[in-house]
Chain A
Amino acid sequence: MESETPKMKPIWYFVGLMLALMGLVVEVSGLYRYFSAEHTKTVLENLHPEIWWGAIMIIAGVILLLANRKATVG
């Protein structure tokens, strides 16, 4: 007997996973630089944009992931 194809996960699930993973990389990279006092040559380096932007991405990604963890399409 042919097995039934499982229901498709919505795109928002994949977007959430991608944003969370990329946000995590940005966040870890920023925190490493913050604690190691390593300097970049970028303008506004003192604001550490990668730390708070990485956090925003992780939060957005996790919200999308949790909201769609059980959702299916079609």
Chain B
Amino acid sequence: MQSIELAFSDWLIIAIYFIFVLGVGLYLKRYTKNENDFFLAGRRNSTWVAGLAFLSANLGALELLGMTGNTFKYGMYVAHFYWIGAIPAMLFLGIYMMPFYYSAKIKSVPGYLKLRFDEKTRVLNGIAFAIMTLLVSGINLYAMALVLHTFLGWHWEVSMWVSAATVAAYVTLSGLLSAIFTEIMQFFLIWFGLFLVAILGIVEIGSVGEIFNRVDELYRTVSYTTLWSTSSDPSLNGMVVTWGGIVLGLGFVLSFGYWTTDFLVVQRAFSAKDLRTARMTPILASFFKMAVPFIVILTGLIAIVLANDAHSGYALLKDGGQVNYDSALPLLIARYYPPGLVGLGVTALLAGFMAGQAGNISAFNTVWTYDIYQSVLNKKATEAHLLWMGRVATIVGILISVGTAYWAKSFPSIMDYMQAIFSWVNAPLFATMLLGMFVWWITPNGAFWGLLLGMGSSFTLFVAVKFDWIEAHVITLSSIASDQAANFWRAWWAWLICFGVTIIVSFFTKRRPSEELVGLVKGLTPKVSTEGVLWYRRPETYAIISVVVFVILNIYFW
């Protein structure tokens, strides 16, 4: 395709963004005096700051491009990633899990495993998380360079190195605080930069109802505009999945595994100024999470309508005969946005990529410094040395990410494994955390072996299906299934194996005395008292409102 041309005003907007993120990094340096400031943003953030950062850490550009493309491919079932695949888990984290995380005054999720179980479980999870984070960070970096090269004609190495160097500069200067600041900027840029695409699409086609009607006319036998009514039979919906796969795989294991244990997002709640604020962090984020489909799902459906209208002149790109679904959103930007607005749209994508990179690196430097370096390599490190190590880990982490990006360039199919990587690490970890927080007699050896076998089984199932050692339907329990359905089901089995092994091994191994687990396990810990707190200040009140909105959305689009 011909690249989208940028005018002077577009370049000016991109320049403003770079000046702001670097300026903010420099400005915040003076407030980053110790390790607590660098790794936990000084634990002074309000609900709004921590909540929007919590959401934005997950709202990367690759997700926006990919989910819009997935809507084109699978239809409205993609909204499950934002609703059942996020909201119950976010509320569970805020209401039930955050008191244990926050009150333990830990600096990372593996840090909880150390307190609840032992050092080896912490190190196992720390290493798995560090590898996963750098892998994802590198793949994201390559994906960013590829998108900028395809749509703007930018040299992929230049865009990769410039963005990596910028992220390295501001995260090294002020750590999590600058990462959180840029994530909030990204949140506003994404809404101001991309929501207009959906508005203009509605204006061009006529109305939201007209968009749904025209999609229904195009797909008469397979539903692309419903959420649940066609989930009993995989052949009736675009994602080729049953409600069982959605509820157990996505809604339970993958969603809870990601939102309640992935340190990338949970770290934002750890930066809150007090327990109430930490509990409110994911609850507030849940409202904005439910709103994201009004960008990605709507633009995906608009793209379906336009691509099937011979007079529209809109068609997705094709790479070697294969449809490039990720081109749906950039091509809509090129269709509607005049100079000035194009710069805003491109900056929104750039901000999404760079803030995602900063999020990964700030989580990596914390886990590396505390859960691997201090835990295994230098137990006597001073606070000043740990702060120095955090800055070194930031630069080294960025360099490894760049190396991974070069690897991804020479081995592009690795990008297909992004979803699978999460199911290797997060799905079994959720079983370990659930049992650790809610069952006092789970033992350190039970947790370690459950986690190890859970991660191993998920990876083995992935390889076995990939190389045709077993048929996919053996794990998906239906005769036909998409790659997404296989991901959901593999996560479910990994969780179940970790859950079962942890319980069985715990029956035969030594338990920790219950008095050592006070504050870490439900039943041994005093309940969080909300007595005397006005009803409208209680996290539970907002969680109930969030559940009501969630139910209404699911029924409305049933």
Question: A14 CA to B42 CA in the complex, in Å?
Answer: 19
Does B338 contact A15, Cβ atoms closer than 8 Å?
A: no
Please give 9 more A-B residue pairs, beta carbons under 8 A apart, in addition to A43-B200, A43-B335, A44-B204: A18-B185, A25-B16, A26-B340, A29-B338, A42-B335, A42-B337, A45-B338, A49-B200, A74-B42
For the complex formed, measure the closest distance between the CB of B47 and the CB atoms of chain A, giving whole angstroms.
13
A residues apposed to B, CB below 8 Å: 5, 8-11, 14-15, 17-19, 21-22, 25-26, 28-30, 33, 40, 42-45, 47, 49-50, 53-54, 57, 60, 73-74
Cα of A17 to Cα of B49 in the assembled complex, Å: 17
Selected contact of B16 from candidates A22, A50, A74, CB within 8 Å:
A22
Interface size class of B (residues with CB under 8 A): 35 or more
Known contacts A42-B337, A43-B335, A44-B336; A15/B13 CB under 8 A: no
- Chain B positions 16 through 40: 1 when the CB is less than 8 Å from some CB of chain A, otherwise 0: 1100100010011011000000000
Interfacial chain A residues near B12, Cβ < 8 Å? 25
B residues near A28, Cβ cutoff 8 Å: 9
Contact residues, B191-241 vs A (CB, 8 A) = 192, 196, 200, 203-204
Residues B32-66 near A (CB distance < 8 A): 42, 44, 49
Contact flag A25-B9 (CB < 8 Å), given A43-B204, A54-B340: yes
Q: Are B338 and A42 in contact (CB under 8 A)?
A: yes
A-chain residues with CB within 8 Å of residue B507 when the two chains form the complex: none
User: Which of chain A's residues have a CB closer than 8 A to the CB of B339?
Assistant: 29, 33, 40, 50
- A15, A33, A54: the one within 8 Å of B188 (CB): A15
A49 touches B338 (CB 8 A): yes
Flag if B192 contacts A57 (CB, 8 Å): yes
> How far, in angstroms, from A73 to B339 measured CA to CA in the complex?
37
Q: List 6 A-B contacts (CB under 8 A).
A: A11-B49, A14-B181, A29-B338, A47-B200, A57-B192, A74-B44
* In the A-B complex, the 5 residue pairs with the closest CB atoms: A29-B340, A29-B9, A26-B340, A40-B338, A50-B340
Q: Which residue on chain A has the smallest CB distance to residue B28?
A: A8
User: Shortest distance in angstroms between B7's beta carbon and chain A's nearest beta carbon?
Assistant: 7
Q: B49 — which chain A residues lie within 8 A by C-beta?
A: 10-11
CA distance A44 to B198 in the complex (A): 13
User: Does the CB pair B7–A73 fall under 8 Å?
Assistant: no
Q: Is the CB of B9 within 8 A of A26?
A: yes
Chain B residues whose C-beta falls within 8 Å of the C-beta of A14 in the assembled complex? 20, 24, 181, 185
| B136 contacts A by Cβ under 8 Å | no
Residues of B contacting A15 in the complex (Cβ-Cβ under 8 angstroms): 184-185, 188
Q: Is B254 an interface residue (CB 8 A)?
A: no
Say how far A13's CB is from chain B's closest CB, in angstroms.
Answer: 11
Given A14-B20, A14-B181, A49-B336, the answer on whether A26 and B13 have CB atoms closer than 8 Å is yes
A28 to B226, CA, bound (A): 42
B341 in contact with A49 (CB, 8 Å):
yes
Tell whether B402 is near chain A: CB-to-CB under 8 Å. Answer: no
Does A25 contact B13, Cβ atoms closer than 8 Å? yes
A15 to B28 Cα, complex, angstroms: 15
A22 with B185: CB separation less than 8 A: no
- Cβ-defined partner of B31 (8 Å) among A5, A17, A26: A5
Residue among B180, B184, B343, B344 with the most chain A CB within 10 A?
B344
B196 to chain A, nearest CB (A): 6
Residue of B nearest to A29 (CB): B340
B342 → A minimal CB distance (Å): 9
A66 CB, min distance to chain B CBs, angstroms:
16
Expressed in whole angstroms, the Cα–Cα distance for A54 and B193 within the complex equals 11
A50 to B204, CA, bound (A): 16
Q: How far is the CA of A15 from the CA of B190 in the complex (A)?
A: 13
Residues of A within 8 A of B338 (CB): 29-30, 33, 40, 42, 45, 49-50
Smallest CB separation, A35 vs chain B (Å):
14
CA gap between A50 and B345 in the complex, in Å: 12
